[in-house]
Amino acid sequence: MGVTLSTNSALAPISFASTVIGFISFAFTLATFLNVFWSNLLTFFSAPTEIHDYLSNLKQGLYEERTHLRRARRRDRRKSVGSRTREKDAGIRSFTRGHSQDEDVALRVMRETIKHMIRQFRALERPFLRDRAGLAREEKGYADEDEVEWPDYYRTDYRECGFRERFVWLRRKNDVVNLLEGLARVETRRIAKEVGDVAMMVRDLGRDLADMHDSVYGLEQRLSRVVGIRRVD
């Protein structure tokens, strides 16, 4: 007595659909694996160029952004001191002081962010430095350099890229890219703040000009009543 298989059963379409879905899933998985493998392979062979380019650009961007934030802090301090000296009205003075405190908080947050990013960058950069440069950096100490400008940071001496450096770069490239993206966000916030400061300066200048115009007009009116001077537009 044999077993007869029917090809017209209701399970045949379901089985076929599941088979197709399985092949499609396998194809996507294989394509993802090949994409990741190919990307890692390119990163491995491009490591000598990428290490220098990525780290140098990130280093320059971080230290330039730190310099910009320091200048902005000094500029805001001078501006806040000058505004408190010039303003006579209590309401305007309190508004200026509150705005200055908000700016100080924003700058402080950005400075702390850049400081932490610099520390992360130094930890990522250390395996690629030459032994002499790495020992010099460790002796100076990273934590104490935040308030000092070091020109030699822009002239980094990286070691020759061997298999060890290639594998390390393969693991740390994503962290470097994340730092670059974070630096771009901080730069955008700083630029937006500076644009807002310029807009406020223009608004204050327009208000001062309007007040000056009203004062001149009032003076002309008083003079016209005294000596008969008439304004000619």
Poorest-confidence range of 24-38, 111-125, 213-227? 213-227
Instruction: Report the share of the chain in percent with pLDDT over 70.
Output: 70
Other residues' Cβ atoms within 10 Å of the Cβ of residue 30: 10
Average pLDDT over residues 23-34: 87
Question: Which residue would you say has higher pLDDT here, 80 or 23?
Answer: 23
- Which residues are within 8 A (CB) of 141 and not within 5 positions of it... i.e. 6 or more apart? none
Give the per-residue pLDDT at 91.
Answer: 47
Average pLDDT over residues 24-48: 86
**pLDDT attached to residue 147:** 46
pLDDT level of residue 18 (50, 70, 90 thresholds): confident
Please say if the pLDDT value at position 61 is more than 90: yes
Range 101-107 average pLDDT: 73
- Our CA angle for 199, 204, 209, nearest 5°, is 125
CB-based contacts of 129: which residues, under 8 Å, 6+ apart? Answer: 137, 156, 157, 158, 159
Mean pLDDT (the chain, rounded): 76
SS (H, E, C) 156-169: CCECCCCHHHHHHH
Continuous H helices in 46-162: 47-86, 90-125, 131-140
Query: Is 203 exposed, middle or buried, given 0-12, 13-18 or 19+ CB atoms closer than 10 A?
Result: exposed
Structure confidence by residue, pLDDT tens digits, 125-136: 999 988 754 444
CB 59 within 8 A of CB 123: no
Per-residue pLDDT at 95? 44
| Model pLDDT for residues 185-203, shown as the tens digit of each residue | 999 999 988 888 888 888 8
CB 83 within 8 A of CB 159: no
For the cut 60, the answer to whether the pLDDT of residue 137 exceeds it is no
Spatial separation of the C-alpha atoms in residues 20 and 15, rounded to whole Å: 9
